[in-house]
Every structure is written in structure tokens, then in C-alpha cells.
Amino acid sequence: MHATHIEPATMLAQLEATKPERVTIVLLSGDLDRAMAAFIIATGAAAMGMQVTIFFTFWGLNAIRRKGAASSAKDWLRRMFGALNKGGAETLPLSRFHFGGLGTKMMQKVMKQNRMPGVPELMRTALDLGVRFIACTTTMGLMGITKDTLIEGVDQFAGVTTYLAEAKQSSVNLFI
């Protein structure tokens, strides 16, 4: 029997030479400022040629929900939760100085005046640059968020092992 012999050291060196740097980000927060930080890092890394994956969980899922989409969760409790917890990248509140929406509106205005991209624009840029979006299925279930209410471009629906398998390969891991 003949098997191709591969020198392990050569193999490893080749792998290391060709392996692109990877970044994984867990976005747990649904705050405008935190989501912006996550997307700025993601787009910056992608522009540097790094492979980027963002895992959306808990309130972070609000960033990838379509604005105003009604939850189609089966039980009324979760449907209710999905309805009360407003989603959409355009509607994320500031973590501080939200002031019932007034502070956030002011911040968005300042950003626009300064030609600073907001969360929706940064998110589109991230998708353009090949950043992968993964939605956490467990928290989707908990919060009454169904697949049909998420934006297009969500690459995978997965759980903690998918995250860990990717994080293990990454040189940059962030939890926001």
C-alpha cells in the first residue's frame, strides 16, 4: 500500500503561511455605541485582509433584526417578548444618554453631519467585505426572534461550539 508522505513540519509551515488571521467578535449588546465599536473593528479587520466572524447573541441580535418585523414565535409569551423588544439596526439606543430616544437622535444627527457611517451603513460595509454573521439559535429562541425576522446576509444559525471552534483559530477574540 502506498500513501503520500507529508512532512508534518512542512505541512504546519505551509498552513501557517497561508492561514489568514482571524477575528471573532461576540456581540451581546444591543446598544448603538457598542454595536458601532463591534462593526468598526470588524470592517477595519476585514479591510486588513483578516477573516472576521461576528456572533450575535441576546440583545446583539437586535442589530440584525429587520425593523418592525413581527415575531412568528409559536407561544404568546415569546411572541410578546419579540414585539416588546424592538429590533433593527436603525433603532438601537445609546448605552448612556439615551434620554428616551432624544440623546440617541442627537448623536445620530451629529454622526450624519460629520459623515460618520451609522450602524446600518457599517453593517452593510461589513457584509460587503465578507464579514460572516452568525446568529445564536439559543438566544433567538429565548427572545422570540425567528429566522424570518432577521436581515438577509446572516450566514449561519449556530451555537456555542461553532463559536468556540472559530475562536480557537482566531488571534483576536472580542466580547462586546
Q: Does 8 bind another protein (CB under 8 A)?
A: no
Question: Binding pattern to another protein, positions 16-55, x when CB under 8 A?
Answer: -----x------------------x--xx-xxxxx-----
> Is 176 a residue that touches another protein (CB under 8 A)?
no
Q: Spell 46-72 as b/e; 16+ CB within 10 A means b.
A: beeebbbbbbbbbbbbbbbbeeebebe
How many other CB atoms are found less than 10 A from the CB of residue 155? 14
The total number of residues shown for the chain amounts to 176
User: Is 174 a binder of another protein (CB under 8 A)?
Assistant: no
125 binds another protein (CB under 8 A): yes
- Comparing CB distances to another protein, the nearer of 108 and 139 is 108
Closer residue to another protein, CB minimum distance, 112 or 147: 112
Residue 166 near residue 16, CB atoms below 8 Å: no
Q: Are 65 and 149 in contact (CB under 8 A)?
A: yes
- Residues in touch with another protein (CB under 8 A): 21, 40, 43-44, 46-50, 114-117, 125, 129
